[in-house]
Structure 1
Amino acid sequence: MTLHAASIAPNRVLADLIPATKVNAYARDAVLVAAGAGLTGLAAQVVIPIPAISPVPFALSTLTVLLLGAALGPARAVASMTLYLIAGVAGMPWFAEGNSGVVGLVSFGYILGYIAAAGLVGALAKRGGDRTIGRTIGVMVAGSAVIYAFGVPYLMWVADMGVVDGMTKGAAVFIVTDVIKVAIAAALLPSAWALVRRFQG
């Protein structure tokens, strides 16, 4: 399949533009899944601890998850985040701040949310949700909301917090950084598709 044919066909994401035959498509996807997990692990080490405000640090991994969801599509993105979670639980020290496992990890709920968010963002991107700035903003906001839907209740349970405390320390403190992350995604993804269209021409 040529670049032109792959890019203009419906239900495509950026990863589908990587040339592959029926024979090596599985190898391509396996590499993308593993690379996505590894990239998430690297991004999770870019953190700013804020113990005086929240037990959950600012981390670059959430932006990475959302971008990967859009770029890889739902199946590959879910597989990638599942690999990230399983390897981390098994002992790979690539959760935020070099952590691994589950015990004592207050941010584990957010990691569970990565899987669901990657799937949602990937599904929306496959329907063209990452090709304009406006749509990308909506997709990124939806993906972020899914991560919080998993992360905040888990934080409240593990840290024995009330609803107000959990929402404040588990979500509200990240509003500013979330806006920045959404803006970055809204700049990167539509720009990538614009380049694809330019090469088509």
Structure 2
Amino acid sequence: MLGAALFTALLSQLSIAVPGSPVPITGQTLAVMLTAAALGPMRGMLGQVAYVLMGAVGLPFYSRGASGFEHVLGATGGFLVGFIPAAFLVGLAARRGLDRSAWKALPLFVAGQLVIFAIGVPWLAFVARLEVATALQKGFLPFVPGALVKAAIAAMLMTLCWRLGRSRRA
């Protein structure tokens, strides 16, 4: 679980600012999908709980080394909180074998990221006092291409891991 938190913290440092949005593009969601699929629902979820808590108490785990409860309670906090149920759901689906082939894993990892958006965008709208359309423009639309790319990377990596694991047993 600590490894999941540390991996998410590491990939959070891959950060690109989005003009006009308080939400950056990061590698965090890639880490969430991969660790959840690898660890399963409970350990994957607890890894993300650890990530959010360690950043909240002051470790420089969030994008660009940020930390503190104000980030969890701020405009981007919903995305951080969204990692927790997304990890549980992706881990649950992976336990049922939906991460074994790229064609099954891709929609799984897209769905996991949609869970994060489903929590993050309304949170952004509420905290930043934005209308829903504006929150979608600032917290969802610019991130769709990256989310699809990260889902594809995660699907390919998990499929490769399963193939390597089978070839070692053979």
Identify the TM-score tier after normalising by the shorter chain: over 0.9
Moved segments of 4+, more than 6 Å:
none
Q: For each residue in 1:101-141, what CA deviation from the matched residue of structure 2 results, as whole angstroms up to 9, or x when unmatched?
A: 23263211101000110000000000001001111011101
Q: In the alignment, what sits opposite 1:67?
A: 34
The answer as to 2:15 corresponding to 1:43 is no
- Cα offset for 1:42? 1.3
Match of 1:80 among 28, 38, 47: 47
Whichever of the two has the greater Rg, that structure is 1
Write the letter of the residue equivalent to 1:135.
Answer: K
User: For residue 143 of structure 1, what is the aligned residue in structure 2?
Assistant: 112
SS state of the match for residue 103, structure 1? helix
Paired residue for 2:23?
Answer: 56
Q: Is the 8 A contact 2:57 2:69 kept in 1?
A: no
Q: 1:110 aligns with which of 71, 79, 91?
A: 79
- Separation of aligned partners in 2, 1:58 and 1:131: 27
Could you report, residue by residue, the CA deviation over 1:119-178 in whole angstroms, capped at 9, with x for unpaired residues? 000000000010011110111011001100111011111111101011111111111111
Give the equivalent residue in structure 2 for 1:179: 148
| Structure 2: gaps (5+ residues) | none
1:93 partnered with 2:67: no
Equivalent AA in structure 1 for residue 84 of structure 2: I
1:119 corresponds to 2:88: yes
Number of residue equivalences: 168
Letter in 2 for 1:73: G
The SS at the match of 1:168 is: helix
Cα offsets for 1:20-56 (capped at 9, x unmatched)? xxxxxxxxxxxxx111111111111110112x23110
Q: Within 2, Cα distance between the matches of 1:93 and 1:197?
A: 37
Q: Distance in 2 between matches of 1:106 and 1:94?
A: 17
Q: Is the 8 A contact 2:48 2:84 kept in 1?
A: yes
Q: State yes or no: 1:155 paired with 2:133.
A: no
Match for 2:26: what amino acid?
A
- The CA distance in 1 between the partners of 2:13 and 2:43, in whole Å, is 23
Unaligned stretches of 5+ in structure 1? Answer: 1-32
Q: Secondary structure, in 3 states, of the residue corresponding to 2:167? A: helix
- Write the distance in 1 (CA, Å) between the matches of 2:55 and 2:168: 39
For residues 68 and 163 of structure 2, what CA distance do their matches in structure 1 show? 41
TM-score of the two chains, using structure 2 as the length reference: 0.94
